[in-house]
């Protein structure tokens, strides 16, 4: 139960890990996108601001120009007024027609007045361009402004201006008016009333640009008089204000300008930057998409690679790639396991450490042929490789050209199958086939032996009878027969008898009848075969040494068959010494206690004492490994006249007696064959008796 709450942790952890990897992967992209956006935003903003600054600067310039023009115009007007009021000799005058002409020339003036030092009106002229603005009543309302201007004028000793004031015209409209007062030396004043709007039209108007509005304004922004294009909705407004310091009054000139273009794309520069920004963002988006596609492809590629790798690692077929120079560029684990070398020991090597040393030349030729473009057989070919520990093993090789993505050959790819097991099974089946054939032939031999023994019994019995008969006849001879003849006849009889016994034994052996086992002394067994062995020994110049342990017990055996075994081993030994280069040929026949049914199972001295061991040693040619493998196989022989049945029969006989027939190399040369037989009664070991018979 305790494990249950942990269950959801694993998916949660996986989700967290996935989120983290997703974040790590996208973090830089998001950061880059943000930075680009910020950069672009800043550039667009700066471009906009730069342009706004430019427009503002131009407007400020225009305003300064307008102020200068206004100031100049006002000054020129003041001079004209001065000229009107004073004649060339400096006297004050009021030329009516000149005043009218001036008013005609200056549309900005509404009225000219000549007033005495108490500001009482002496004369006045009105602008011909408009209906009379002032009557006595309205003019009286302006009196304070006039007084202010004239006070300033007399204080300054020159022209001075009054603050502007509103003169209603009727029906809710009116005109903003400003007075200028010029003092004369006589104390009189010349007063001109400026209509503010007309002043702007006349003095500033010509230099006014399209899309600009110029106005006299109060410090709080209230417009007193305005001239210029009315503002169109939705456009951005730029404003510039400058003060005009005039004697007696300070005016504010305000110029408004507006842009016809929309604010977001104020000009080409900003438009260009914005366009580039959009392109950049589009590229970023495309790049992000491309990256996503690439990541997906990478993931798929990694999956495929992992799958391939798992496949290559799990197959039992060895895989190896070589480049066009014959260097190993790749080998899978199965190949490394097959040859016993690690990947590091193989990669990059131009030679192959797994080539058997004796075949390197042949394999090199094969490789040269392959590198020269020779195509390998499609069905593969068999070869022998060497493991790191030096053992050889057969492999089946399939080779094919290695092509890259452009279908260009970059090397050779080979697949290897270790066929040792297959060969072993084939060898086993071949051996068992051979054994079957041998058994069949043995059966035939057995039949023949049985037939022969049957057929030979009669003639042998006849020979024995004739020998006995002849001896009887010789016994009957009065002057006695030669002793040698009698001896020879006796020998003939004995050998015939022996031949009969051999035939009977073989017959029994073949028929697998229970044979009579008897207790025989080892000496008797050896003595029985000695005459026949000596016959051959004499012929081949072999000395026979017989070594018998003292007081050996008797052995329980079918004596005829065991004698045959001894005879056979002695013959083989003498034949093995029938080669040149041996100084003294010696055949050693030995009988002693010890040994066992097979040596590994003998573990106690008591057990050992139950056994007798016979050995036949020679100093002949010895037995090679190749021969040793098949030594006891029926019909195996290295002699042209051999039957190859001797050793096979010997082993069968010994094993049927419960013993074992073994062989080992004799030092310094030759072979020792040993076989064991069960003793009739166990006895204690005693010293050896040695004897020797010379050829
Ligand atoms: P055969 O004597 O008819 O050849 P065997 O079965 O007795 O048949 O011997 C088989 C083979 O074993 C011989 O051909 C010989 O090559 C080899 N052989 C047997 N005994 C010896 C030995 N003492 N020294 C060397 N080789 C031997």
User: Residue 693: what pLDDT?
Assistant: 53
- Which position has the higher pLDDT, 200 or 1? 200
Q: Is 40 domain-assigned?
A: no
Long-range contacts formed by 435-443: CB under 8 A, 24+ apart: 435/633, 438/633, 438/634, 438/635, 439/634, 441/634, 441/635, 442/634, 442/645
Quote the ligand 1 centre to 36 CA distance (angstroms): 98
Tell me which residue range forms the domain holding 564: 516-695
Of 513, 534, 569, which closes a domain? Answer: 513
pLDDT digit string, tens, across residues 605-646: 556 668 899 999 999 989 999 999 889 987 889 988 888 888
Query: Is residue 7 scored above 60 in pLDDT?
Result: no
Q: What is the mean pLDDT of the chain?
A: 82
Quote the ligand 1 centre to 572 CA distance (angstroms): 5
Dist CA 13 CA 285 (whole Å):
31
User: Residue 301: what pLDDT?
Assistant: 94
pLDDT digit string, tens, across residues 391-413: 999 999 999 888 888 989 888 89
Q: Is 658 domain-assigned?
A: yes
Which atom, in ligand 1's list, is nearest to the CA of 621? 25
Dist CA 657 CA 202 (whole Å):
156
Q: Is 655 domain-assigned?
A: yes
Instruction: Clarify whether residues 185 and 295 are in a common domain.
Output: no
User: Residue 342: what pLDDT?
Assistant: 92
Q: Is 43 domain-assigned?
A: no
Which atom, in ligand 1's list, is nearest to the CA of 618? 23
Those residues with Cβ within 8 angstroms of residue 242's Cβ, 6 or more apart along the chain or in another chain: 63, 64, 67, 252, 253
In this structure, are residues 157 and 151 in contact, taking their beta carbons and an 8 Å threshold? no
Q: For residue 521, how far is the Cα from the chain centroid?
A: 80
pLDDT digit string, tens, across residues 260-318: 554 555 566 667 777 877 888 888 888 889 888 999 999 999 999 999 888 888 888 99
What number of helices (H) and strands (E) belong to the chain?
16, 23
Quote the ligand 1 centre to 649 CA distance (angstroms): 12
Query: Is residue 604 scored above 60 in pLDDT?
Result: no
pLDDT digit string, tens, across residues 28-84: 778 887 888 888 788 878 877 887 788 888 888 888 888 888 888 888 888 888 887
Dist CA 161 CA 182 (whole Å):
9
Q: How many CB atoms lie within 10 A of CB 147?
A: 15
Rounded mean pLDDT of 7-27?
A: 76
Please give all residues whose beta carbon lies within 6 A of any atom in ligand 1, as ranges. Answer: 572-573, 576, 618, 620-621, 623, 627, 631, 636-639, 642-644, 646-648, 671
Instruction: Clarify whether residues 551 and 658 are in a common domain.
Output: yes
Instruction: Clarify whether residues 505 and 526 are in a common domain.
Output: no
Of 465, 494, 513, which closes a domain? Answer: 513
Instruction: Clarify whether residues 302 and 320 are in a common domain.
Output: no
Instruction: Clarify whether residues 491 and 532 are in a common domain.
Output: no
User: Residue 93: what pLDDT?
Assistant: 67
Instruction: Clarify whether residues 527 and 444 are in a common domain.
Output: no
- Which position has the higher pLDDT, 591 or 233? 591
Dist CA 254 CA 231 (whole Å):
14
Instruction: Clarify whether residues 393 and 484 are in a common domain.
Output: no
Q: Is 61 domain-assigned?
A: no
Quote the ligand 1 centre to 650 CA distance (angstroms): 12
pLDDT digit string, tens, across residues 670-689: 999 999 999 886 544 444 55
Residue 658: DSSP 8-state: T
Rounded mean pLDDT of 432-436?
A: 81
Quote the ligand 1 centre to 498 CA distance (angstroms): 25
Those residues with Cβ within 8 angstroms of residue 250's Cβ, 6 or more apart along the chain or in another chain: 243, 244
Quote the ligand 1 centre to 642 CA distance (angstroms): 8
Rounded mean pLDDT of 348-365?
A: 87
Instruction: Clarify whether residues 333 and 466 are in a common domain.
Output: no
Dist CA 255 CA 216 (whole Å):
9
How many folded domains does the chain comprise?
Answer: 5
In 3D space, the residue among 236, 193, 187, 192 whose CA is nearest the CA of residue 211 turns out to be: 236
Of 418, 450, 469, which closes a domain? Answer: 418
Q: Specify the residue with its C-alpha closest to ligand 1, atom 8.
A: 644
User: What Å distances lie between residue 353 and 26, 320, 399, 400, CA to CA?
Assistant: 50, 14, 19, 21
User: Residue 566: what pLDDT?
Assistant: 93
In this structure, are residues 258 and 237 in contact, taking their beta carbons and an 8 Å threshold? yes
Q: Is 132 domain-assigned?
A: yes
- Which position has the higher pLDDT, 84 or 417? 417
Q: Is 156 domain-assigned?
A: yes
Instruction: Clarify whether residues 200 and 333 are in a common domain.
Output: no
Query: How would you classify the pairing of strands 585-593 and 542-549?
Result: parallel
Q: Specify the residue with its C-alpha closest to ligand 1, atom 16.
A: 638
Instruction: Clarify whether residues 531 and 624 are in a common domain.
Output: yes
Which atom, in ligand 1's list, is nearest to the CA of 648? 6
* DSSP assignment of 204-220: IGGGPPTTEEEEEE-TT
Quote the ligand 1 centre to 513 CA distance (angstroms): 28
Which atom, in ligand 1's list, is nearest to the CA of 636? 10
Quote the ligand 1 centre to 571 CA distance (angstroms): 9
Q: Which of 647, 653, 669 to mutate to test the pocket of ligand 1 (most atoms within 8 A of CB)?
A: 647
User: Residue 245: what pLDDT?
Assistant: 86
Q: Specify the residue with its C-alpha closest to ligand 1, atom 18.
A: 572
Q: For residue 475, what is the domain's CATH number?
A: 1.10.287.130
pLDDT digit string, tens, across residues 200-223: 888 887 777 777 788 888 877 788
Q: Is 457 domain-assigned?
A: yes
Rounded mean pLDDT of 371-385?
A: 83
- Answer yes or no: pTM beyond 0.85: no
Instruction: Clarify whether residues 305 and 351 are in a common domain.
Output: no
Which atom, in ligand 1's list, is nearest to the CA of 644? 8
In this structure, are residues 462 and 499 in contact, taking their beta carbons and an 8 Å threshold? no
pLDDT digit string, tens, across residues 483-509: 888 888 888 988 888 888 888 777 777
User: Residue 551: what pLDDT?
Assistant: 87
Helices (H), 86-135: 96-105
Query: Is residue 170 scored above 80 in pLDDT?
Result: no
Quote the ligand 1 centre to 638 CA distance (angstroms): 7
Those residues with Cβ within 8 angstroms of residue 579's Cβ, 6 or more apart along the chain or in another chain: 620, 621
Q: Which of 565, 572, 578 to mutate to test the pocket of ligand 1 (most atoms within 8 A of CB)?
A: 572
In this structure, are residues 586 and 558 in contact, taking their beta carbons and an 8 Å threshold? no
Instruction: Clarify whether residues 566 and 683 are in a common domain.
Output: yes
């Amino acid at each position: 139960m305790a494990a249950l709450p942990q269950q959801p942790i694993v998916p949660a952890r996986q989700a967290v890990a996935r989120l983290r990897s997703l974040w790590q992967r996208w973090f830089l992209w998001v950061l880059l996108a943000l930075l680009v956006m910020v950069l672009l935003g800043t550039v667009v903003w700066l471009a906009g601001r730069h342009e706004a600054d430019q427009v503002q600067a131009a407007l400020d310039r225009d305003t300064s120009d307008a102020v200068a023009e206004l100031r100049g115009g006002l000054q020129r007007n003041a001079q004209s007024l001065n000229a009107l009021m004073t004649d060339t000799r400096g006297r004050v005058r009021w030329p009516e027609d000149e005043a009218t002409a001036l008013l005609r020339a200056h549309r900005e003036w509404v009225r000219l007045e000549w007033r005495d030092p108490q500001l009482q009106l002496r004369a006045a002229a009105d602008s011909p361009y408009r209906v009379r603005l002032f009557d006595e009543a309205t003019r009286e309302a302006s009196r304070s402004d006039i007084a202010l201007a004239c006070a300033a004028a007399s204080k300054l000793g020159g022209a001075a201006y009054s603050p502007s004031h509103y003169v209603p015209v009727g029906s809710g409209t009116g005109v903003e008016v400003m007075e200028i007062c010029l003092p004369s030396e006589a104390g009189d004043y010349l007063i001109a009333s400026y209509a503010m709007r007309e002043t702007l039209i006349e003095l500033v108007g010509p230099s006014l640009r399209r899309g600009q509005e110029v106005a006299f304004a109060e410090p709080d922004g209230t417009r007193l008089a305005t001239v210029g294009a009315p503002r169109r909705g939705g456009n951005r407004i730029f404003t510039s204000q400058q003060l005009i310091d005039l004697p007696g009054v300070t005016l504010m000139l305000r110029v408004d300008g507006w842009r016809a273009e929309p604010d977001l794309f104020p000009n080409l520069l900003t438009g260009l930057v914005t366009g580039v920004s959009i392109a950049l963002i589009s590229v970023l988006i495309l790049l992000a998409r491309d990256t996503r596609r690439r990541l997906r492809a990478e993931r798929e590629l990694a999956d495929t690679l992992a799958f391939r790798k798992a496949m290559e690692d799990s197959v039992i077929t060895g895989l190896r790639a070589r480049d066009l120079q014959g260097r190993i560029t790749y080998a899978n684990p199965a190949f490394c396991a097959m040859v016993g070398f690690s990947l590091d020991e193989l990669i990059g090597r131009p030679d192959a450490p797994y080539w058997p040393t004796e075949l390197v030349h042949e394999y090199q030729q094969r490789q040269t042929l392959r590198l020269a473009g020779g195509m390998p057989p499609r069905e593969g070919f068999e070869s022998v490789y060497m493991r790191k520990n030096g053992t050889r093993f057969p492999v089946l090789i399939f080779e094919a050209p290695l092509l890259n993505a452009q279908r260009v050959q970059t090397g050779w790819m080979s697949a290897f199958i270790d066929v040792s097991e297959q060969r072993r099974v084939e060898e086993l089946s071949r051996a068992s086939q051979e054994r079957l054939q041998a058994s069949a032939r043995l059966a035939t031999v057995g039949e023949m032996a049985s037939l022969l023994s049957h057929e030979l019994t009669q003639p042998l019995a006849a020979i024995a009878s004739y020998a006995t008969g002849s001896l009887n006849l010789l016994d009957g001879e009065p002057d006695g027969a030669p002793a040698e003849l009698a001896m020879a006849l006796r020998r003939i009889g004995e050998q015939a008898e022996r031949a009969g016994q051999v035939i009977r034994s073989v017959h029994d052996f073949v028929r697998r009848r229970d044979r009579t086992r008897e207790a025989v002394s080892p000496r008797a067994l050896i003595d029985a075969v000695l005459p026949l062995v000596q016959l051959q020994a004499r012929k081949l110049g072999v000395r026979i040494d017989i070594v018998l342990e003292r007081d050996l017990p008797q052995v329980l055996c079918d004596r005829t068959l065991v004698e045959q075994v001894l005879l056979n081993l002695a013959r083989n030994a003498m034949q093995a010494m029938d080669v040149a280069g041996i100084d003294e040929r010696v055949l050693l026949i030995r009988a002693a206690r010890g040994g066992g049914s097979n040596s590994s199972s003998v573990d106690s001295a008591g057990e050992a004492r139950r056994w007798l061991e016979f050995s036949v040693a020679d100093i002949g040619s010895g037995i090679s490994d190749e021969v040793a493998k098949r030594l006891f196989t029926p019909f195996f022989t290295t002699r042209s006249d051999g039957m190859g049945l001797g050793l096979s029969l010997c082993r069968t006989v010994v094993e049927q007696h419960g013993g074992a027939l073994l062989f080992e190399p004799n030092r310094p040369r030759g072979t020792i064959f040993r076989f064991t037989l069960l003793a009739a009664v166990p006895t204690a070991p005693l010293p050896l008796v040695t004897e020797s018979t010379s050829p």
